[in-house]
Amino acid sequence: MRADRLVSLVLLLRQHGRLSAATLARELEVSTRTVLRDIEALSAAGVPVYAERGRHGGFALLPGFRTELTGLNHDEALALLVAGSRRGAQAFGLGSALASAMLKVVDALPESYRDTAAGAAQRLLVDPETDLLSRRLVAEEVPDAIVAAVLRSVFTGHKLRIHYAAVDRTPKWRTVDPIGLVTVRDQGYLLATRSGADRTYRLSRILAAEELAEPAQRPDRVDLGRTWQERSRQFRTGGDQVTVLVRVDPARREDLVGTALAVLAEATDVDGRQRLEVTFQDPRHAEWAVWQLGTNAEALAPQWLRDSLRDRAAAIATCYGVSS
């Protein structure tokens, strides 16, 4: 761990020039005292780092201290820098590793590519924290210890023991065979098998995790994309899910589809409204999704959904009716 931190310290000085001990401590997420010890270690190892005194002082490297990575063209460097802006790594606890890797990429670029690639990357934003309506897209927080144990089991191919809190159920310990990890909209999922049956676990619902020494029972190779598609299809066709028929204003189609599990059929009526057959997780989910669209959507079937929406609308009308 310290060796990685020393490399990151050198790269920070290479890219930013003179930096104070406080700034370095903040970037490396350590104490100022640790930074001072690391500076001493670098100097003892022959790295030309020196201190500048005064109000605007700090630490810097002698000019010309660098390495170069050859064979990396401008587009390849740009792709790496843009990939570094994605938040998926946070779901797997790899955010700090990704930041360190990006420092190394930028520092290793040939002089002719470094400024243009970094500048171009600043003009591309991937997965911002809010959408156009300023709704915050919050990534799920998973304790580092849990993520680390899950990652180790996935990479080493060992069985994993997890304390899992399924929805509306008492948390239980389970021993699983991990297959891989998937992140979707900043939510992390563990794909695994348990007693030979396919299982998908949401990382945020894992309360504790322990890597076991026993080898996992899993294939040597896996097509994670295909496996995820199969798990998604199983999810959409199981449980208490309901299918409803809805007429919706085209301007609000994406709002409806964005909350649904699947769109099974779609057509356009003569008045321009779209008629969609969509699947929701349960009756409550279906009622909420249609209700939030107001008069921009009409549930056509099943009848129980129409009745529920009518009763809710009547209750609202009564609440805001003219008092005698």
Average pLDDT, rounded, for the chain: 79
Write out pLDDT tens, residues 90-113.
556 655 665 566 666 666 555 655
DSSP code string of 175-214: EEEEEEEEEETTEEEEEEEETTEEEEEEGGGEEEEEEEEE
Mean pLDDT of 66-75: 52
Q: Could you give the CA distance from residue 235 to residue 245 in angstroms, rounded to a whole number?
A: 20
Write out pLDDT tens, residues 172-216.
999 999 998 887 766 788 999 998 888 889 888 999 999 999 999
User: Could you tell me the pTM of the whole model?
Assistant: 0.51
If DSSP codes are grouped into helix, strand and coil, which group holds residue 227? helix
| 177 beta partners | 193
Mean pLDDT of 244-272: 91
Q: Which residue has the higher pLDDT, 82 or 179?
A: 179
State yes or no: pLDDT of 70 exceeds 70. no
